[in-house]
Structure 1
Amino acid sequence: MNLKMYISFLLFLLFASIQVKAGDAPKAQDIPMYKKVPHLGTRTAEPSVTASLEQNQLTVNVGCYMGIVKVYVYGDNGSLMASSSAAIEGNGLCTLDLSAFENGSYNVTVELGDMIYWGMFDI
């Protein structure tokens, strides 16, 4: 009888530790994005640009835009660390794997034609 209680207690501890680890999973870090250069043409809807960082994956979400989206990540010293581009029709995502990046501050720049958005984040 004691062996069953001991095994039950160990299983309880195992499941309790799994629950604690699941609760400690890091949430996505939203990166505030700012418009750098106003667009020069007429547009009915302004594009929306949001960025988030979750588990070393940078995700840039673009809405109300048709064309090529270019995403650049620069280091603290201004050097280009990573880049990506995607063709978007309406809404779309562009992701970058930043798992090889060292801890520090970074700058993300998103180019939508003649419009530039930027934000800063830390790893």
Structure 2
Amino acid sequence: MSEEKFNDFLDGELDQESLDANTKKDLEIYFEVLKVFRARYDYKPSPKLEEKIMRRLIKPRKILWELALGVAMFATVFYVIFNVIPKQNIKPITEENRVVSELFDYLSLVKLVGDGF
């Protein structure tokens, strides 16, 4: 093969009939190699493969969003339970006035005992 003739053919200066047999054979190999490279670089995956790849990419993001949503819902429920729902006043079993008066009576008794009675 003459590299100069080969380049002249690729540049469009020579036609295929003017090439010798060896250069024609090399030219056929060159075109086959170009077809293989074109097939490799122009590859378009099938819809199933695209879906499989996208599922692998989307699945971790989906888990992250579900986790964030769960944390947000838990925080909202926690806030509502402790801050929004009104607290009911629980009525003490014994009334406050009676407990206070009993306490003062007891303290008065301790004071009297401490005075020497």
TM-score (norm 1): 0.26
Q: Which has the larger radius of gyration?
A: 2
- Larger relative strand fraction: 1
Using CA pairs below 8 Å that are at least 6 residues apart, which structure has the higher relative contact order?
A: 1
